[in-house]
Amino acid sequence: MKNLFDVNGKVIVITGASRGIGRAIAECFVDLGAKVYGTGSKESSIEWMKGTDITGYAADCCVDGEIQSVLQSIHQKEGKIDVLINNAGIASNTPASRMKDDEVNRIVETNYISLFRSCQAYYKLQKNVGGNIINFASVLGLIGSPLAGVYSGTKGAVIALSKALAIEWVRNDFRVNTICPGLVETDMTAMITDKPLVKDQVQAAIPMKRMGLPEDLLGATVLLASDASRYMTGTSIIVDGGMTAQ
């Protein structure tokens, strides 16, 4: 029987692949035989990719045209991009009452506008053959949390956008799905993991009694990238240790 989860030979592009979840995903797909391209915001962030089978591109997702240019370059080289994984994002722990416009704009630009541009550019490149988009959102796009008002808003918007694009582009044989991680131990959650007392409190509130690890997101990502999910579009997979089940 054919391996439904086979991604060998697929061309996969991952934004925000420089660290954390993005890096773990990039390394996973290389191990599974895919042709992997990863982006980071600057040259130093993709330095680790040299000497690996991951091809790195420095691209600031907030600069209009940079991600589009990267996608076009990869498409010209490979003749296709089988899967686009939009993982780039930033967080904040500034109280909503004290958040300045520049921080609001930076979060919205990074987490939502640049992701939309990436989806749009990919659609134009693959319009005649179809494609597969996996957008990383967050459980905070589904539930409320203090100190995450704007971040939560952008992640909720990513979930809604993905559903809308899934419906609009299905006629062109596109699938668009989201993955919603819970609290995962990465640089982005250092404000929790660097404080043992805070981390203990947070983990006590998670049914599985631990924060996630980047590797915990691999199964859901491979599922959505493979033919095993060929009848799935417009859906969100929650990977959160039970946070949203309470």
Q: Which residues are catalytic?
A: 151
174 in Cβ contact with 133 (< 8 Å): yes
**What spatial distance separates the first Cα and last Cα of the chain, rounded to whole Å?**
38
How far is C-alpha 71 from the chain's CA centre? 16
DSSP string for 12-64: EEEET-SSHHHHHHHHHHHHTT-EEEEEESSGGGGGGGTTSSEEEEE--TTST
HSE-CB for 120 with a 13 A CA cutoff: 11
H or E segment and range at residue 131: strand 131-136
How many residues comprise the chain?
Answer: 246
